[in-house]
Structure 1
Amino acid sequence: MSLLGAPARLRPLVAAIRTVGRRWFHIQPADVSSFLAATGIKELDAVFISRGTSRPRDNDASLAVLIQADRDPRPWPHDAGAVQKASFFGPSITAAPAHALASRRDGAGGQLGQGGLGLLALRRDKPDEVRQISIPSSSTNSFDQVEADRFVASLGIDSATNQEVAKTLRGFWQLFDRHEGLWFTFKLAQTNGKVEVIDPFLEFDDFSVPRQPLLQSYHASRPLDDNTRLAEKGGLFYLPLPPTLPRVGKVGCFGYGAGNAMATMDGLNLVGGGPANFLDGGGGANRQNARLAIETLNRQAEVKSIFVNCFGGITRTDIVAQGIVDAVRENGISKPIVVRMKGTGSEDAAKTLRESGLEFAFHDDFREAAAHAVRAAEDGHL
């Protein structure tokens, strides 16, 4: 069986990684008001935020809204009778009267983030109750006020403040567009002529942060455990997996390249064990980040053995080996460490580990190495 030849067995682990190991973050609820004020978007000036409401308002003048970085292809807008152009990919706005969701569980419907309102499930089950507009990713195509007014009116909500709702909706679209949003959900209630934004969930891509000064302080202050924060500061992509999730085990694994790191996790499952984390060394292998990777895994309490799997193409495995030795010497690491390296510098890597005077297990074969790491996690030694 090939390393990736068991999709049915590995599906629970993939789902777990998608749930826990995402490269995006959301604005904390207590920070939403200050965040919206800092955007300078005038359409959001007059809104007020309400939190802690477990269900959408069930009056006719309330909306449930999802703005997402949609992955589904859409046909280009065209006039009646015009030749259909190619499909495009772009963000979408989905909305429905909140009363249509009142009987649904919050979170239903395949949401990307944690703020699902069940709109996708409602669109699937009762498409006539949902409206959606897709916006081509182009500066010449935008969600202007006329489109916003028309979109809100199409939902059949009879209210004197429809214009204010449309204005608020457009403001959130501008926020999503300007600051590289991924997934926004919120409910809009019309109260005493004003628009109330209920339980806003605003999610952004981590990789947009260097381009987005507004997001940087919120990203830096998001809740993280100390070990994850140290790893992130050192340029590692480190995601500890809760031991309660399926296919999660006791082996701390590490490699360079996301594909290699994922394949390493799969391989541990295929030999009867499981990974305790995802750890990709990032954009380039060096002695410092190899040392930090081993230190990070050593600090994770659930890790009982460490498995390093590196393939040397442009990666210098001999330099990685030096970093591994540095970590063990400088920190007195006693957890068993299994190393599998192939390719550029692997002979020198094996020599470095062998002559270090420290205890490592070195393998050429991946399956043998993975099985050894699983045994070491159970036995507590090599």
Structure 2
Amino acid sequence: MNLHEYQAKALFQEVGIAVPAGQLITELSQLDAALNAINSDGWVVKAQIHAGARGKAGGVKLVKTATEAHEVAASLLGSSLATIQTAGKALPINSLLIEQTLQIQEELYLSLLVDREAKSYAFVISAAGGMDIEAVAEHSPEKILNFPIDPVVGVMPYQMREAGFALGLTGDAFKQLGSMMQKFYQLALDKDIALLEINPLVVTTDNQLIALDAKVNIDSNGLYRQPGLVKIRDFSQEDTREAKASEHQLNYIALDGNIGCMVNGAGLAMATMDLIKLYGGEPANFLDVGGGATPERVSEAFKLILSSSEVKSILVNIFGGIVRCDLIAEGIIQAVKEVGLTIPVVVRLEGTNVEQGRALLAQSGLSIISATGLTDAAQQAVAAAGVKA
């Protein structure tokens, strides 16, 4: 789950991390009050969407006068914005963050993320802030430093000092970095955060550290512990189908193909999509119904798949371990009847109660294609979608 910049900065402020003075507006009528509340020689108008690289796409504008602010706000609010991080999709701009301008001396990069190799959080820092960190990593990897955090002892003083020296900080900024790293780490633990990022983290001309931007990603697996964050989730920034899937505990990602996939287990789902592509097809989605699938959840999964008009066939690939094949079969039959399926459905079942599951499908009287194995299932699904090998 992603947060907007203004939401991330609210979290920062709660733990004492400095951010620019700012006001959020959702209507143009609120702009004058926001400008008057911010004591600044100018303002920055920032479109609030769940994506980075907004500045390059025209979503962040520096304005000097109230007239300019109104022109920019009017052009952004209520429109949509696509950046290099939105995969060609334009996201709606429902709010703007109006912020003060700062006298900036230096731009840095600071993030805390889950390092899956080290099995811990790790700080990533760079003196090359304000740039695409991916480009820095590709062309100047020596400018990026990594500090894994031992979960037993947390952030150590020597790591704070090393980070400060690496960034060339002195005085107040040096001290503030250490404090910021500690607060970042505790915030991540308290809020089940997978990624905290400030780019740029600026050093002002009076040697203060300010989080000029803010990005926060919450671990969706921990949302049950974060009811306050769930309440501020902005579904308008998410794919409607993916948001709907999360309500039914389904892992769904929309893709561009025409063969719908319903599988239990992420690894099996990836293998299924690979085989579809191997035999000339294109998967329309990634959909993992999980180990505790019920007939109701399977029915919802079918509805999600069919929400795409591009789907020409559906491949159901279930290995019954925790989930029983007969329950999956009941869900398939229920879903086919409910939604009035008119496109081919290829089903491959293996595992617990597989014979009962196959018998249910065979006796259903529905036009369901039974596959003898995964390869056969993929080939039949591709053929049913009208793709020539």
TM-score (ref. length: structure 2): 0.70
Q: Which residue, out of 68, 78, 83, partners 2:113?
A: 68
Contact 1:312 1:344 in 2 (8 A): yes
Is the Cα–Cα contact under 8 Å of residues 106 and 204 in structure 2 kept in the other structure? no
- Residue 340 of structure 1 is matched in structure 2 by 348
Residue 237 (structure 1) aligned with residue 213 (structure 2): no
Post-superposition CA distance 1:166-220 (Å, at most 9, x none): 4344433332233232222212223364543222222221112122344322346
> How far did residue 238 of structure 1 move?
1.1
Say yes or no: does 1:292 pair with 2:300. yes
Mapped to 2, the partners of 1:137 and 1:279 lie a distance apart of 33
Following the alignment from structure 1 to structure 2, what is the Cα–Cα distance between the partners of residues 59 and 45?
14
CA shift in 2, pair 1:231/1:72, >3 Å: closer
- Could you tell me which residue of structure 2 aligns to residue 280 of structure 1? 288
The question of whether the paired residues in 2 share the 8 Å contact of 1:62 and 1:190 is answered with yes
Residue type of the alignment partner of 1:106: D
Quote the Cα distance in structure 2 between the aligned partners of 1:212 and 1:93: 23
Aligned counterpart, 1:216 = 230
Q: Which amino acid aligns with 1:66?
A: S
Q: Which amino acid aligns with 2:276?
A: L
Q: Which amino acid aligns with 1:240?
A: A
TM-superposed CA distance for 1:154, in Å, is: 4.1
1:37-76 mapped onto 2 (5 Å cutoff): 37=13, 40-41=14-15, 43-44=16-17, 48=21, 61-73=106-118
SS at match of 1:95: strand
Q: Distance in 1 between matches of 2:176 and 2:55?
A: 21
Counterparts of 2:346 and 2:215 in 1: how far apart (Å)?
A: 42
SS of 2:203's partner is: strand
1:90·1:134 contact (CA, 8 Å) conserved in 2? yes
Aligned counterpart for 2:201 among listed residues 188, 210, 213: 188
Identity level (%): 28
Structure 1 stretches of at least 4 aligned residues deviating more than 6 Å after TM superposition: none
- Residue 143 of structure 1 contacts residue 173 of structure 1 at CA under 8 Å; is this kept in 2? no
2:117, 2:324 → 1: CA distance?
40
* 2:371 matched residue in structure 1: 363
Q: Secondary structure at the match of 1:44?
A: coil
Q: Give unmatched runs, 5+ long, in structure 1.
A: 1-24, 74-88, 110-117, 244-248
Quote how far apart the aligned CAs of 1:333 are: 1.7
Q: TM-score, normalised by structure 1?
A: 0.71
1:326 matches 2:349: no
CA 372–46 in structure 1, closer or farther in 2 if over 3 Å, else same = closer
Counterparts in 2 of 1:212 and 1:366: CA distance versus 1, 3 Å = same
1:106 aligns with 2:106: no
Change (3 A) 1:53 1:319: closer
Partners of 1:136 and 1:324 in 2: CA distance: 47
Give the Cα–Cα distance (whole angstroms) in 2 for the partners of residues 150 and 354 of structure 1: 67
Which residue of the partner structure matches residue 4 of structure 1?
Answer: none
- CA–CA separation in structure 2 for the residues paired with 1:183 and 1:346: 41
Which residue does 2:29 correspond to in 1?
Answer: none
Q: Post-superposition shift, 1:60?
A: 5.1
- What's the offset of the Cα at 1:252? 0.4
In 2 relative to 1, CA 294–46 (structure 1 residues): closer, same or farther, beyond 3 Å?
closer
Q: How does 1:1-382 map to 2 (within 5 A)?
A: 25-37=1-13, 40-41=14-15, 43-44=16-17, 48=21, 61-73=106-118, 89-98=119-128, 106-108=132-134, 118=136, 120-121=137-138, 124=141, 127=142, 129-138=143-152, 140-143=153-156, 148=160, 151-158=163-170, 161-186=173-198, 187-191=200-204, 193=206, 194-219=208-233, 221=235, 223-241=237-255, 243=256, 249-378=257-386
Task: Determine which structure has greater relative contact order: mean sequence separation of CA pairs < 8 Å that are 6+ residues apart, divided by chain length.
Answer: 1
Count of aligned residue pairs for this structure pair: 313
The whole-number CA distance in structure 1 between the counterparts of 2:117 and 2:243 is 34
Deviation at 1:356, TM superposition (A): 2.1
Which residue in the other structure is 1:80 paired with?
none
Asked whether the equivalents of residues 227 and 300 of structure 1 are also in contact (C-alpha less than 8 Å), the reply is no
The 2-side partners of 1:290 and 1:143 are apart by: 48
Cα distance in 2 for partners of 1:131, 1:354 equals 59
CA distance in 2, matches of 1:291, 1:303: 16
